[in-house]
Amino acid sequence: MGKVYGKSVQHYVRHLWTSQLRNPSQLRLVVALLATWIFVQYCTGNWLLTGRAEYATIRDLKEEVQKLKAKVEIHERRFWLDPLEPIFQYRPKFWLGKTDDVDDKDQVTPYFLANFVNASDKDVYDRRIYIDLGLHDFKSSVCWMMQNYPTKFDLVYGFEADAKLHADIHTLASNITECVKGTSAEARGYKTHEVLNTFTFYYNFVGAEDNNKSSPPTRGLSQFVRDIGIKENDFVVLKMDVEGWEYDILSRIMDDGTYKFLDEVFVEVHYNHPEMHPWHWYIFKHSRAEIQALLTRARDLGMFIHPWP
């Protein structure tokens, strides 16, 4: 539209100019048309907006405006995020002596996304979904999320690959009851029988892609997100503790766009650093600098991602 309109203005101005502008009203009209043409050129991005030569349609301009708006939203959300503090091994409370628990999770609670947006608003979000990669014994993360995360999840998916911890969800009924009864989880609306009916347990590794030859089989996270039918209007929280595989998984979901379906991500990052050797972290191949770069890339893309202790 911009190009066509601008071209017609140019032709009309040229016609008036060659007619020798016989009266002042024609001169004013030429000035007005020139101003209109300049305005159209500016608004369609021909001059100042992006450095592209020109835009063929107003739709192109709107797309660029949407991209700029998305960048602004990313920077706004960065103000809500906890700082990345590799010097404290992403565990500032422990390294500053404020807790004796190296796995203390209270450091992340002020930065929950649901502290800043109303995740419970059903006019905005159809479903609230929690995915736990590295379930362990249910108490360490799922129960903690039920008791601390400021919204009630409608669906919970849990993965665990350790055979010692593997169990059918119904055998965990006593743990669920203990987690819910008389706690903040109960106040949030959780009930044992509802959790049993909405919780799906998988005995699998999770990786960047499917691998049926591993034992137990590996589920690719991107494929899993597609398989369970997550939509853009779902509110999805993901926690990842996959013993070093987080680097490959995060890289994959950033490359293929799956990250856009995840509203918030908590990830325990594993790396080889002398201060973490007491916890046997010398087995991991990536450096702390590589992990820091990975988390920074994720935040630059707009992921609401936190280190999980």
pLDDT digits (tens, 9 = 90+) for 276-286: 999 999 999 99
Has residue 52 been placed in a domain? yes
24 shares its domain with 124: no
Residue 81 lies in a domain: no
Helix and strand numbers, DSSP H then E, in the chain: 11, 8
pLDDT attached to residue 196: 87
How confident is residue 132, by pLDDT bands cut at 50, 70 and 90? Answer: very high
3-state secondary structure of 129: strand
In a domain, 80, yes or no: no
Flag whether 76 is in a domain: no
> Tell me: the pLDDT tens digits for 1-51?
333 334 444 444 444 444 444 455 555 565 666 666 666 666 655 544 444
Is 256 inside a domain boundary? yes
Q: Is the dihedral of CA 82, 136, 203, 282 positive or negative?
A: positive
Q: Are residues 97 and 150 in the same domain?
A: yes
Under DSSP, is residue 153 helix (H, G, I), strand (E, B) or coil? Answer: coil
Which amino acid does the sequence have at 206? V
Ramachandran assignment for 216, one of left (phi > 0), alpha (psi -120 to 50 degrees), beta (any other): beta
Of 24 and 256, the one with more pLDDT: 256
Among 67, 101, 120, give the residue marking a domain's end.
67
Tokens of 113: 């996304």
Count of domains for the chain: 2
Query: Quick check: is 225 in a domain?
Result: yes
Assess whether 59 and 95 both reside in one domain. no
Same-domain check for residues 15 and 50? yes
**Inside any domain, residue 266:** yes
Predicted local confidence at residue 7, as pLDDT: 40
| Cα 93 to Cα 219: distance, rounded to the nearest angstrom | 34
Domain boundary among 67, 98, 114: 67
Pure H helices in 172-220: 173-180, 184-187, 192-198
- Gap between the Cα atoms of 226 and 236, Å rounded: 13
Domain shared by 274 and 170, yes or no? yes
Residue 74 covered by a domain: no
Q: At what angle do helices 288-301 and 246-256 cross, to 10 degrees?
A: 30
Do 117 and 220 lie in one domain? The reply is yes
If asked whether residues 173 and 275 sit together in one domain, one would say yes
Residues 14 and 63 in one domain: yes
59 & 94 share domain: no
Same-domain pairing of 142 and 238: yes
Do 46 and 127 share a domain, yes or no?
Answer: no
* CATH (domain of 123): 3.40.50
pLDDT tens for each residue of 163-196 = 776 656 666 777 888 999 999 999 999 998 898 8
224 φ/ψ angles, rounded to the nearest 5 degrees? -60, -45
How many Å apart are CA 267 and CA 206, to the nearest integer? Answer: 13
Question: Do 58 and 205 lie in a common domain?
Answer: no
The pLDDT tens digits of the residues spanning 191-233 come to 988 988 999 989 999 999 999 999 999 999 999 999 999 999 9
> 56 lies in which domain range?
2-67
